[in-house]
Amino acid sequence: MKTLFILNDPPYGSERTYNGLRLAGHLAKLESNTVRIFLIGDAASSAHGKQKVPQGFYNIADMLGNVIRHGGEVGICGTCMDARGMGDGEILEGTHRSTLAELGEWTAWADKVLVF
């Protein structure tokens, strides 16, 4: 199954991105699944590569890395990155600056689209 996750909320302060990534991580581990994640709006900052969180607190960057390690792809809305002052050199390894056109292609590709 091909699943696209579209995440909208910031990485912290709401649990929507956290819960979306929990599910994405689980699906990415299953052999029969391919997972793609598109970070849009405030979720773009989820891919910032220098996150520091208190000990014992979940780390969204680590959760994205888990999906990537299991073959998942992560695109970040370029316009949203620009609006948040994020440069290409500040994003997590394995993620990439993306576009709404790519989101459209990924949506057409997916068997399921989940929005958090």
Give pTM, 2 decimals: 0.95
Q: What average pLDDT is seen over the chain?
A: 96
Q: 60-69 and 16-29 are packed helices; what angle lies between their axes, rounded to 10 degrees?
A: 20
Q: What homologous superfamily is domain 2-115 in, according to CATH?
A: DsrEFH-like (3.40.1260.10)
Cα 69 from chain centroid?
Answer: 13
Q: What is the average per-residue pLDDT within 51-64?
A: 91
pLDDT of residue 38: 99
Domain ranges of the chain: 2-115
pLDDT of residue 53: 87
**CA–CA gap between residue 29 and residue 63 (Å, rounded):** 12
Q: At which residue do the structure tokens 């394995």 appear?
A: 94
Q: 36 to each of 14, 55, 67, 85, how far by Cα in Å?
A: 21, 28, 9, 24
Strands (E), the chain: 2-7, 34-39, 73-77, 95-98, 112-115
Q: Is 31 exposed, middle or buried (0-12, 13-18, 19+ CB in 10 A)?
A: exposed
